[in-house]
Amino acid sequence: MKNKRFYEWSAEEVDDHGDVINVCFEDRLADLSLSDDLCLVLRIGNDADGEIHREYAYVRDGRLPEMFEGTDIVIPSRFHDELKRV
């Protein structure tokens, strides 16, 4: 079965120790309460196996990186554009 890519935005709430204590996910960035720890999540999977892989791209200095962390997977330009509009 062919894998599909699903993207979603995430806002993480962290405590004073840097531990994530709450995470919110939305399809559109505008639907999230903006926080200092925003990221774009790529989920890869299929109907038979469910999610089989997940990658993260954290917003730093108001920008997304060109690729998901530690990969050669390029972030589609529509997400860079969406971030600029918020």
For position 59, what pLDDT does the model report? 95
pLDDT in tens, 45-59: 999 999 999 999 999
pLDDT at 36 over 80: no
pLDDT value at residue 18: 84
The pLDDT mean for the chain works out to 93
pTM metric for this prediction: 0.88
Question: Mean of the pLDDT values across residues 18-35?
Answer: 87
Q: What is the DSSP string of the chain?
A: ---EEEEEEEEEEE-TTS-EEEEEEESSGGGSPP-S-EEEEEEEEETTTEEEEEEEEE-BTTB--SB-TTS--BPPHHHHHHHHH-
For the chain, domain boundaries: 4-85
